[in-house]
Amino acid sequence: MGFIDFLLGTPEQKPDIEARAGIAIPFYQDAYFTPFNTFRVDRSSAMQVPAVSRARNIICGTIGTLGLNSYNMITGAKVEGRKILEQPDPALPLAVTMAWTVEDLLFHGRSFWQVLEVNPEDGRPTQARRIDPTRVTFTTDLNTQEIVNGFYIEGGLLPATGVGSLIMFSGIDEGILNRGGRTISTALKLEEAVQRMASEPNPTMVIKNSGVDLPPEQVSSLLAQWKQARATRSTAYLSGPLDVTTFGYDAGQMQLTESRLNTAAEIARMCNIPAWYINAESASATYSNVSQERRSLVDFSLRPYMSCIEERLTMVDVTPRGQKVRFDLDDYLRGNPLEQIEVLGKMLDYGLISVDEAREEMDLAPRGNEANAT
């Protein structure tokens, strides 16, 4: 019996899954259609800006490596065997799928997984593949903001449930490609200016002849020799009534370095990460404060995206009631060895953990295994 048959059958025949509620689009997504959107940039252009690329890799790369677990809400015990959390896409590692999912939330304000396989017992997805959000279209009711009809991929209507349907992750805003278009466009223009300056490092020069006019052939030859001399040597020689006049600005006068640093700092603010993470300002990171910096990064930068994914995967159309999905932060937030030993020592003194549990926290083999080995 298929999933649709379960839904249409008697209550005794239905699986333990609630009917999916109407999917709503947050009102802020209307920013896609405002006049301000004339400054919207695409992903390929944004990734050409080093500061944007760096911010993206920090946010998406960090979350992508955390891993997902499902826990019992009452006992807190870990629930094993959730394929959708261990490796959603059978063709890609979890880190890759998750990094691109976070990027979609960061850049576009929404992300989509297409269901590849469902559990025959309850119809919940067991495998899914991330879909480029620019391929997905839909229409919404102006009053309720709920999606009408369903999702389309390149014009084709998708099923509402089961294999081929979409799991939508809604972000905290409309994405930096929409709300940060002005800043990214400015950064792109600065990169173009730097490229032009690198191609032509010297200001524009004019050779002025205050004597008798030269024939066109001699003028062309003179300019070619001058250009060649400037390309191979820092100085050149002019004779006769010829004079060189320089106009325009050099790199120092244009303050390209300062402008790029300022724009990088603006991009850091736009992505909600500390500016020193993308080298927009100088800062020192020592071994003793790395764990604290990581906690700050999670709390103020990563947590919004993590919560969007955790809470969506916890919803009953993906995860059974009584379970919750959370990212695994243990390894990422683990302090330095001295801090770990101090904390574990106190926990041992109070009888909160055993020696083997403490050794496990330090990635050491249990003593029982060592005794058996000898």
Summarised one tens digit per residue, pLDDT across range 198-247 is: 665 555 667 777 767 778 887 788 778 777 776 666 566 666 677 666 65
Per-residue pLDDT tens digits for 139-185: 877 777 777 788 899 889 999 888 999 999 998 888 899 888 888 88
Report residue 315's pLDDT band, with 50, 70 and 90 as the boundaries. very high
Distance, in Å, from the CA atom of 240 to the CA atom of 205, rounded to the nearest integer, reads: 18
> CA 171: distance to chain centroid?
12
Q: What is the share, in percent, of the chain residues with pLDDT greater than 90?
A: 27
Report residue 130's pLDDT band, with 50, 70 and 90 as the boundaries. very high
Mean pLDDT of 283-292: 59
Mean pLDDT of 39-66: 90
- The pLDDT of residue 221: 81
Report whether pLDDT(103) > 50: yes
- The pLDDT of residue 250: 52
Distance, in Å, from the CA atom of 27 to the CA atom of 170, rounded to the nearest integer, reads: 11
Distance, in Å, from the CA atom of 228 to the CA atom of 236, rounded to the nearest integer, reads: 9
Comparison of pLDDT for 295 and 69, the residue scoring more: 69
Mapping DSSP onto H, E and C, the string for the chain reads: CCHHHHHHCCCCCCCCCCCCCCCECCHHHHHHHCHHHHHCCCHHHHCCCHHHHHHHHHHHHHHHCCCEEEEECCCCCEECCCHHHHCCCCCCCHHHHHHHHHHHHHHHCEEEEEEEEECCCCCCEEEEEEECHHHEEEEECCCCCEEEEEEEECCEECCCCCCCCEEEEECCCCCHHHHCHHHHHHHHHHHHHHHHHHHCCCCEEEEEECCCCCCHHHHHHHHHHHHHHHHHCCCCCCCCCEEEEEECCCHHHHCHHHHHHHHHHHHHHHHCCCHHHHCCCCCCCCHHHHHHHHHHHHHHHHHHHHHHHHHHHHCCCCCCCCEEEEECCCCCCCCCHHHHHHHHHHHHHCCCCCHHHHHHHCCCCCHHHHHHHC
Comparison of pLDDT for 349 and 288, the residue scoring more: 349
Report residue 5's pLDDT band, with 50, 70 and 90 as the boundaries. very low
Neighbours of 232 (CB within 10 A): 8
- The pLDDT of residue 10: 44
Report whether pLDDT(117) > 80: yes
- The pLDDT of residue 147: 78
Q: Which residues contact 35 (CB under 8 A, 6 or more apart)?
A: none
Q: Which residues contact 1 (CB under 8 A, 6 or more apart)?
A: 9, 13
